[in-house]
Chains A and B, each alone.
Chain A
Amino acid sequence: MSDFLLTQIINYGAPLLGVILLIGGLGAPLPCTLLVIAAGAFVHQGVLDWRITAPLSLVCVLLGDSLSYALGFYAHQKVLAHFGALPQWVQAEEAFQKWGALSIFSSRFLVTAIALPVNLISGTTRYPFQKFFLYDLLGETVWIFGYGGLGYAFGSQWEIVNEFLSNFGGVLLGLFCFGWGIKQAWNWKTKNARSI
């Protein structure tokens, strides 16, 4: 899949990259980070023009993210009908209102695996769209210019950058899961100690 997309990007350029990023923003499992890093290298090699590629990619990925936010937003009633009465749902909504900004910003470029769930949750919990868009814009700007910039700096060695960053994201996701589990266990232990 990656090889096919890379060939098509060198053939059809920035518009195709934009379309892929839009579809990726909607949740299709496409290797978007790899393509952004590769696009940076292609700019370095003179195959793509950064003045077109960077803004077009940013607009497309923001559009994809906004559409997936809208999916969550319009699914609000259905989600409420199923889970609205649960205390966990109320808890999740409160947590998202508190940590939403950080989740949206960091999931754009650090832990990209959770970007789609974050978009959907932002919509279903009615996180204000203006705020969602602002943090989305900031995070995606880091993603496009930061990762694309690394691809540019490393030129044809961009595959090493991709390997490093994708594994780094996996480690962060693992740390997040592990940390959350430990925090829950700690809360349980504290509650137990209090009840005794």
Chain B
Amino acid sequence: MLEKNPKRRFIILGLTFFGCLLILFFGTRLFHAYQKFNGHGPHGFAPKLETDVEQVRGWMTIPFISRMYGVPEPILYKALGIPEEGNHKKSLEDLDGEYFPEAAGTALQIVKATLLAHPAPPTPPNAPDAPLP
């Protein structure tokens, strides 16, 4: 059947080749992801308060970072030198564009430095959740 139908043969060969490419491409990425995965197992559930400032991302908002790291919002706003009002729903990237247009990533760097300077107080295991900001 394949021999008589070159179009079908082309589709089958093409799909097999495409499958190989997908396996190769995603397989390599999977291997790299696995290597990272291996070093970051959950070891029980991850702690509620984050301590690694390298986990801060540009899409995060100040209230979210405050909750994630247990650092009060006013400290972060003060460090950035921006008002709290009207900035609650803006991501660090948005704040960067609005208040620090001359140097990309400034807001992120300031927030990271502030978090390092204000580590969250240690909480006992099974401590009740902090109230919503």
Contact A188 B18 (CB under 8 A): no
B45 & A153 in contact (Cβ 8 Å cutoff): yes
Binary flags per residue of B4-23, CB closer than 8 Å to A gives 1, else 0: 00000000110111111111
Q: Which residues of A contact B129 (CB under 8 A)?
A: 46
Residue in contact with A164 in the complex, picked from B22, B37, B52, CB distance below 8 Å: B37
Q: Which of A50-58, A114-122, A155-163 contacts B (4 or more CB under 8 A)?
A: A155-163
* Contact between chains at A156 and B61 (CB < 8 Å): no
Contact residue among A152, A179, A192 (Cβ-Cβ distance under 8 Å from B45)? A152
Task: Tell me the nearest residue of chain A to B41, going by C-beta.
Answer: A154
Are A174 and B42 interface neighbours, CB within 8 A? no
| Given A3-B58, A167-B30, A173-B22: A10 touches B40 (CB 8 Å cut-off) | no
Q: A157-B40, A163-B36 are in contact. Are A10 and B60 (CB under 8 A)?
A: yes
B12 partner, pick from A7, A169, A184, beta carbons under 8 A: A184
Interface residues of A in 16-59 (CB under 8 A from B): 44-47
Contact, CB under 8 Å: A188 / B22: no
Looking across the interface, which residue of chain A has its beta carbon closest to that of B14? Answer: A181
Cβ-based interface call for B68 (8 A): yes
Asked if B59 is at the interface (CB within 8 A of a chain A CB), the reply is yes
Which chain B residues lie closer than 8 Å to A192 at the CB level?
Answer: 3
Cα of A173 to Cα of B130 in the assembled complex, Å: 43
CB neighbours of B46 from chain A (8 A): 44, 153-157
| Complex Cα spacing A155 to B25, Å | 28
Q: A10-B64, A46-B67, A160-B37 are in contact. Are A170 and B50 (CB under 8 A)?
A: no
Are A11 and B33 interface neighbours, CB within 8 A? no
B50 touches A3 (CB 8 A): no
CB contacts under 8 Å to A, within B24-67, are 24-27, 29-30, 33-34, 36-37, 40, 42, 45-48, 50, 52, 55, 57-61, 64, 67
- Minimum CB–CB distance from B81 to chain A (whole Å) comes to 21
- A-B pairs with beta carbons under 8 Å apart, 6 shown: A7-B60, A153-B45, A167-B33, A174-B19, A174-B20, A177-B18
Give me 13 other A-B pairs in contact (C-beta within 8 A), A164-B33, A180-B15 excluded.
A6-B57, A6-B59, A47-B67, A153-B42, A155-B45, A155-B48, A157-B40, A163-B36, A167-B26, A173-B26, A188-B1, A188-B3, A191-B1
